Copies of this chain bind each other. A is one copy, B any other.
Amino acid sequence: MARNPISIEVLETLDAIERRGSFAKAAEELNKATSAISYAVQKLEEQLGISLFQRLGRRSVLTPAGRLILAEGREILQTTRRLADKAKEVATGWEPRISIGIESLQSYVDFFQVISAFLLEFPTVEIDISECVLNGGWEALEQGRVDLLVGAPGPVPSLKGYRAVVIERGELVPVIAANHALAKQLDNKQNTERLLAQLRRIVIHDTSFSGITRSEGLSSDGQMFYVQNMDQKIHAILAGIGIGNIPKHRIQGYLDKGILLPLGIQQKGGVESFLAWKINNKGKGLKVITDRFIALQSSK
């Protein structure tokens, strides 16, 4: 009697409903009929004896209880998915998926070479790339959301069981949009230094949820404009909102066409950049990738 009414499937259904905004859209995403969704929700509501959606006409809004199940349900979903992956890894030694977080300031051209070769050789391993920012990357590693960090900024958190290797950051170019109001006045060094203080800095804000946040900005004077990722930063600069450092390879096209202009200022060394993973991660795929990338770095 009274068995657990919550199933993985219905949690996936709730997740889809919330993400897509309606039963119908969720049904489409899950390749089901709307009625199937409707019945699934009804069944759960009936078995729990509570309502999860407040029906307001054709639109449904989650009740507090519904929100709770959705929020915790998503964690459960993630846990089970990871569990399936981990089990496969234990059985075969090979992880079915490797999640890689790349620091937004990091140039990843070389790294993608390694990944490309790896995928040719081991096509069954999925690679999941995400962009992360400053301490958000370390946090993701700690929580197991990523297996490998590329270009994470030092210092390396100690006593957490991480293995970290210094890698090249890649070339960062401070740029301004050619159509920026002050762009024409930046023709010589003297002017540049004088105007620099007046230019707004586009800064990527830390994505760290808990823990200490920090920002990448170097100097603290002048105005800041905060964005959440490198794409937004590039677009903010293109729109003439301000200036900022960008990995050269990501804006080569704009530089060639003269849409973005490099600022003739000296770049400070900045913090070191690390390749990092957990020591207790024994995945064979991870080992291949890190070994090869380190070899490539040191051969330069």
Contact = CB atoms under 8 A, between A and B. Distances in A.
11 contacts: A4-B80, A5-B84, A7-B7, A48-B84, A49-B88, A68-B83, A72-B79, A72-B86, A76-B76, A76-B83, A212-B220
Contacts of A72: 79, 83, 86
Complex A-B, nearest 7 residue pairs according to Cβ-Cβ distance, in ascending order: A50-B91, A65-B91, A65-B90, A65-B87, A6-B80, A72-B83, A7-B8
B87 A68 contact: yes
Contacts of A84: 4-6, 48
Nearest to A82: B72
B220 A51 contact: no
Interface in A26-45: none
Given A3-B12, A68-B83, 4 more contacts: A4-B77, A52-B87, A65-B91, A79-B79
Contacts of A52: 87
B80 A76 contact: yes
A3 B212 CA distance: 28
A283 to B, nearest CB: 10
A210 B258 CA distance: 42
Contacts of A77: 4
A50 B96 CA distance: 12
Contacts of A7: 7-9
A69 interface: yes
A88 B65 contact: yes
A6 B68 CA distance: 22
Given A7-B8, A91-B51, A212-B220, A79 B80 contact: no
Contacts of A3: 12
A48 B92 CA distance: 11
A59 interface: no
A160 interface: no
A92 B50 contact: yes
A18 interface: no
Interface in A109-139: none
B5 A48 contact: no
Contact of A6 (B48, B49, B64, B83): B83
Interface in A171-208: none
Interface in A52-94: 52, 63-66, 68-69, 72-73, 75-77, 79-81, 83-84, 86-88, 90-92
Given A87-B68, A91-B64, A79 B76 contact: yes
Contacts of A96: 68
Contacts of A9: 7
